[in-house]
Structure 1
Amino acid sequence: MATTQSRPLGAFAEHIRKNEVELTERWMRAVFSDVELTESDKLTNEQLSDHVPDILGSICSALAQQDLEEVEPEIERKARLHGKTRWKQGYRIDELVRELDLFRQVLMGAVVQYAEAHPAFTRRHEERARYFIDEAVSFVTLTSIREVVTERDRKIDDYTGRLERANHELVLKQKLVGELYESRMQITRSVVHDLRNFLNVFSMALQLIARAPAKIDAALALANRQAADMKVLVDQLVEYAVVLGDANQVSVESVDLRVLFDELVASCGPAIREKGLELKASFDEQLASVRTNRLKLKQIAINLLTNAAKYTKAGAVTLEFCASGNDAWCLRVSDTGVGIGPSDRERVFKEFERASDDDVPGAGLGLAIVKDLCRMLDGELRFDSQQGVGTTFEITFPLQLRAAEA
């Protein structure tokens, strides 16, 4: 229940409510004419008034109830919105403080005018009104400043996060550049080493022809083998360069897996059998046509079959096409070769990495090519190997490769 002392303050609060528009306009004129406030010049009347009328209403409630704590949560919420809005509008903290100080001055002026027009509004009432207005505006100012600082800190954190991510990306790119440089040097060393070995043996064959004409057939056979090995090296380098340089979208077509399977058996079988190995071929008759890139799929299979034959001295190489669930199929190539040790499981997919057997021709790019081509065709590559027993490579492909995904 209102006390005798609160009635004049309640009447003053009602006076403020009735003259809210006039007081708000008086405050806006003071803001627009203040030379220290530059950002306000860019705002419309509606943008400038913002939450000030709402804040003014809450102050009136505090005056009427003579209890600031009762309306403090409401004032805090509106003040936070005011601070966030001013931050977005580009206000500096000093401008925000100056703007709210002008708001205080307008309200203090209203107290004086009301006291002059109402004799019953005593000096004690005037002091109480000033106290509540001063406390309320100070609370609004502090809350708005905190919100501005919070928004600023959030922005700084955002910028800092972006900077850290950019710095991390830069470090990764620097590392990548270093790796590319090392890779280039490795290419040079590997190719030079292999070509030098080939040329040394080729030179020995020519010297043998010069010193012992009777052994010309053996010398020519040796020279031909070296020329063939050099061709394998160059062909693999060219193939890898084409794979790395292919930035075009993968074209998707309908591929008859049975036709491709028979083609692989026909093209790779003679070379495998020439080494004294058996080619075991198995095709799942459930398979028909798939949507993929035929040439890249064929490259994968040929590289795996060639690799299997290289590292197998006795036994067999197996090629399998089989179904894998309702939406996938599997290409599997296995051998009875030297196998891959646990420490080499990751290394074999890197460029210019080969098994410890230096007698095997090639640049060590076969599995690197397979890995990149599998990525292009959305293939899931797995392998299992035991040293001295053999290796099995298995790739699961989707039945329908979408062009956009490729």
Structure 2
Amino acid sequence: MHTFSTTVTRRALLMLIAAALALLGIVATSGWLADSTRQFSGSVSRMTSLRVAAGTLLSQLQDAEIGQRGYLLTEDRQYLKPYETATTAVDTTIARLHDLAGGNTDALRIVDRLAVLAADKREELAQTIALMEAGRRDEALAVVRTGRGMMLMDDARRSLADLITPADAQLDTQLSTLIGQARASGWVANLGGLFIVLVVGGAVWIAFRYAQDLMRAQSAIQALNDSLEQRVSERTKELQRANDEIQRFAYIVSHDLRAPLVNVMGFTGEFEAGLASVRAHLDRQPADGDDAVASEARRAVAEDMPEAIGFIRASTSKMDRLINAILALSRQGGRTLNPEPVAMRALLESVVASFRHQAGEQHCTIDIEGHLPVLVSDRLALEQVFGNLLDNAIKYLDPARTGRIAIRGRVEDGRLVFDVVDNGRGIPPQDHERIFELFRRSGVQDRPGEGIGLAYVRTLIRRLQGEVAVESVPGQGSVFRISLPRSLTQLSEKHAHDA
């Protein structure tokens, strides 16, 4: 079922990626077409403005010429109003054409030519009007009859045609290109839409198959659940029997180990008493006549044998402590927890008070910081946990600085978190997990201990349905962090119900 679910997920993901790529292609094509349309619209606007400006220039020149001819025929200055308006506006129109030509060299050349033609035309018109105003009407008409003004207008029309014709051709080319792009975009959109429909159909088909397989799997799970409670109950009993066997084994092993250990300790005492008798006898004998054997015997009695007895006693004492630790752990596993409301500040103040003398000797301060919550848990186990952590913190303080230990508590993700912070020696990163193992220690072994305390702490915390971890930097200190449920009763009932 897991393999099929993974396959379905992979196929659905591939289809979604394919659909996304198709949609991205459609969007990209639409964007490309929109950009082309925008560019075409800009060209249309510019070319339209160019055509309008060109027509305006021609109209202005024609208006000026009409005004000039009306004045020459009637000698009425009212006919000069169109001339004066047109000649004033010509410069503005030519400047507009120059701006619309932009960076087109050919168009700029034509506009410059139009500016020259317009200037010549205005000069010709101004000359005839000036002659007419001077009363030299025949001379003014003679200038008109030369046909120079008509040639200038014809040249201006041709130049305007040269300016407009390429613009129209460019617009036609761009329009053809835009139409082709629109067709291509339409094909892409249609094919992409069809592809997306196929992808969606495939996804629906895969989902339908998956739903069918899921229903079959649920039926199989339901069939298994029908007999699950009985199997869980049987497994729980088996685990409980195995746990009881382990505890009995630990007790028996510890008891069997203690018997020969007591014999060794007893015979060591008798050996020590016999050694005292031998030493007393040798002390009564004069040392002057000793041979090499007697001197060696005196040295053995005075130095070697007491040293050996000391090693034996140290080893048996250590063995005795280890056996006691094993017994304590085995008894703890069998002890029934007693959940009750525990005010953590009061509990910790009591625990800290028991370490005041030990902390005072080390010139160490212990502070309980902030508000500490109330929880439902086993009081004795909590006292043992924090007692062990405080004992460790005081034991491994750094003599180079004043010791400071702080206990803090907070609520985090629905659980209660407690930190025991010290500024002691610190623990190397590779030992952060190792120190919680039985009989394992970290750093220089210059303090008494068997490596049992933190293993005992972890055992207790796990029985309280919690976790313990350490964060530490060598030379700076350590933080032992404990996470516990608000209520051991509720959690225990939940586990019992789940079982």
- TM-score of the alignment, normalized to the shorter chain, above 0.5: no
Which is greater in Rg? 2
Shorter-chain TM band: 0.3 to 0.5
Normalising by structure 1, what TM-score? 0.42
TM-score (norm 2): 0.35
**Bigger proportion of residues as helix:** 2
